[in-house]
Amino acid sequence: MHEALFYIKPADHPGHVRCLLCRHHCLISEGHRGICRVRENRGGILYSLNYGRLISENIDPIEKKPIFHLLPGSLSYSIATVGCNFHCKHCQNYEISQYPHLHPDIPGTLRTPAEVVETAHRSGCQSISYTYVEPTIFYEFALDTARLAQAAGLKNIFVSNGYTGPEANRELAPYLDANNIDLKAFTDKFYKEVCGARLQPVLDTIRLMKELGVWVEVTTLVIPGWNDSDEELTDIASFIKSISADIPWHVSRFWPTYKMNDRPPTPHSTVIRAREIGLNEGLHYVYVGNIPDDTGENTYCPNCKKLVIERTGFTMTRQEMTGGNCNHCQAPIAGVF
């Protein structure tokens, strides 16, 4: 166990603690856990139960996160524990994200931050990704690891649902190089009924992360009947554009899974339409996901419109840029290269 960060002991609720790590602000009584099921009140002290208990460790292409504008073509050492502060009905990793809701134990192989950094280096990775589940729920371990990783010359990447509290984001930001944030929809109805959350905190996090100087990319899984209308896709693109036209937007194809098997896979045409909507709204970089061999995975210069990065799946096959600039017109390409 490891004492948690970002909690208080409210005077009007003796014996309780209030967790401020994420935007749920769980009020937790003695012997109980928060929504994520991996933070427990023991004697008025909030503990992280999953510190260093890694349930998944993999070497991934950075494009798999998906992160397209930070060290493209490189490898990222990806880690996760069990647990999540969302309950998404379409979660692809529900076996580990929802594990603590079904079992009393917290499984995983114990690792130290130094071991993770050393393994990442030894594996030829240029970054560490905190991913697969919501990394906020293993924040203390992620923060300790990120500090060591930065000192060792590695980049740090969060793949997040955007529900981290603002103070936690501010403490993490100096060590974080990129954050791919899911903007799952643009309605509270979706967030409440599908995820058990609210929309506004996610919008706030996307804006705050950009203000804090973290490279931000946004992903939307387009689900038939839930968030695939032209109006909603336009609203998402317009919101991203209001922060920066340089924020890449990944629009991905949905496949039925977990508790959402009542919807068909997203038609290719819908995902292509979503990309066109993003570009028409003025976003410079819009990508399609989960559609192999589609040219919508490529990066084009927003100035001259020529190809600067060609991708096939998660593999970069050609690069026409030097030092972050387009080889054709020398215009800068936004990102960390």
pLDDT per residue as tens digits for the range 186-225: 999 999 999 999 999 999 999 999 999 999 999 999 999 9
pLDDT band at 313 (very low <50, low <70, confident <90, very high): confident
User: Can you read off the two tokens belonging to residue 105?
Assistant: 């134990």
Q: What does the block give as tokens for 41?
A: 């009140």
- The model carries a pTM of 0.97
Give residue 101's pLDDT.
93
What is the arithmetic mean of pLDDT over 145-172? 98
Round to whole Å and give the CA distance between 265 and 222: 9
> CB within 8 A of 86, min separation 6: which ones?
97, 134, 161, 163, 195, 196, 197
What is the tens place of the pLDDT at every residue in 92-135?
999 999 999 999 999 999 999 999 999 999 999 999 999 999 99
* Sequence-separated contacts (24+) of 304-307 with Cβ below 8 Å: 304/328, 304/329, 304/331
Q: How confident is the model at residue 162 (pLDDT cuts 50, 70, 90)?
A: very high
64: number of Cβ within 10 Å:
16
CA gap 286, 274 in Å, rounded: 9
Task: Report domain extents, the chain.
Answer: 2-48, 53-293
Query: What is the tens place of the pLDDT at every residue in 82-92?
Result: 999 999 999 99
Alpha-carbon span 103 to 60, nearest angstrom: 28
Q: Are 135 and 71 spatial neighbours (Cβ–Cβ below 8 Å)?
A: no
Binned at pLDDT 50, 70 and 90, residue 337 comes out as: very high
Picking from 335, 86, 77, 75, the residue whose alpha carbon sits closest to that of residue 216 is 335
* 145-171 average pLDDT score: 98
Taking only the tens place, the pLDDT of each residue in 14-36 is: 999 999 999 999 999 999 999 99
Cβ pair 38, 50 in contact under 8 A: yes
Q: Given a cut of 90, is residue 293 above it in pLDDT? A: no
Residue 332 has pLDDT above 90, yes or no: yes
Here the tokens at position 319 are 């690069």
pLDDT, average across residues 48-67:
98
- Do the beta carbons of residue 296 and residue 275 sit within 8 Å? yes
Q: Is the pLDDT of residue 292 over 90?
A: no
Cα–Cα distance for residue pair 30/293, rounded to 1 Å:
53
H/E stretch holding 193 reads none
40 SS3 class: strand
Q: In the chain, how many H helices and how many E strands? A: 9, 21
**pLDDT value of residue 272:** 96
Helix ranges (DSSP H) in the chain = 94-97, 99-102, 113-122, 139-151, 166-172, 188-190, 200-211, 230-243, 268-280
pLDDT above 70 covers what percent of the chain? Answer: 100
pLDDT, the chain, mean: 97
Average pLDDT estimate for 144-153: 98
Q: For 260-281, what is the mean pLDDT?
A: 97
Average pLDDT for 60-81: 98
Six token digits for residue 334 = 């936004």
Domain 53-293, what architecture?
Alpha-Beta Barrel (3.20)
Name, in order, each residue with C-beta under 8 angstroms of 174's C-beta and a sequence gap of 6 or more. none
Average pLDDT over residues 245-254: 98
The pairing of strands 155-160 and 127-130 is parallel
Structure tokens at 169: 């984001």
**Rounded to an integer, what distance in angstroms lies between the CA atom of residue 331 and that of residue 261?**
45
User: Per-residue pLDDT tens for 227-247?
Assistant: 999 999 999 999 999 999 999
